Amino acid sequence: MKKIISTKEAPAAVGPYSQAVEVNGTLYISGQIPLDPATGKLISGGISEQTEQVLNNIGAILKAAGYTFGDVVKSTCFLKDISDFRAMNEVYSRFYSTNQPARSAYAVKDIPMGALIEIETIAMK
């Protein structure tokens, strides 16, 4: 059965999609960009600050659905500039210090709202 996950602790969707959907013990989190959940606006700062905000938003959605970062099996990271990979990785590694998920990272032309990073996530129980 499909269950829509939504929390005010993460930014509201900026289009016709859900923050996350859970189906049969698998949680699919839509791509998260570095929006402040309180204002819905892009945070200031560079790739490190933006990566941390994205992962905090993902953490809030995981928590709302009853999951943790330890349940994450796959992340896909979209970077505006691949030269930000190392700095993104440093922040990312703090959230996934053990039991790391599979991951892909790509440079893309543009990310919504001018963000430097977007991360989508899949978690399983």
**Residue 35 β-bridge partners:** 42
Structural domain total, the chain: 1
Which string of b and e fits 12-46 if b means at least 16 CB within 10 Å? eeeeeebbbbbeeeebebbbbbbbeeeeeebbeee
83 vs 13: which has the higher pLDDT: 83
pLDDT band of residue 6 (cuts 50, 70, 90) is: very high
- Residue 82's CB is within 10 A of a number of other CB atoms, namely 12
Percent of the chain with pLDDT over 70: 100
- What does the pLDDT look like over 56-98, one tens digit per residue? 999 999 999 999 999 999 999 999 999 999 999 999 999 999 9
pLDDT band of residue 121 (cuts 50, 70, 90) is: very high
Percent of the chain with pLDDT over 90: 97
Residue 98 belongs to domain with CATH number: 3.30.1330.40
Q: What is the rounded distance in angstroms from the CA atom of residue 100 to the CA atom of residue 84?
A: 20
For residue 111, give its domain range: 2-124
- Model pTM? 0.96
1 vs 36: which has the higher pLDDT: 36
- Residue 123's CB is within 10 A of a number of other CB atoms, namely 26
Q: What's the confidence (pLDDT) of residue 14?
A: 82
Q: What is the mean pLDDT of residues 32-38?
A: 97
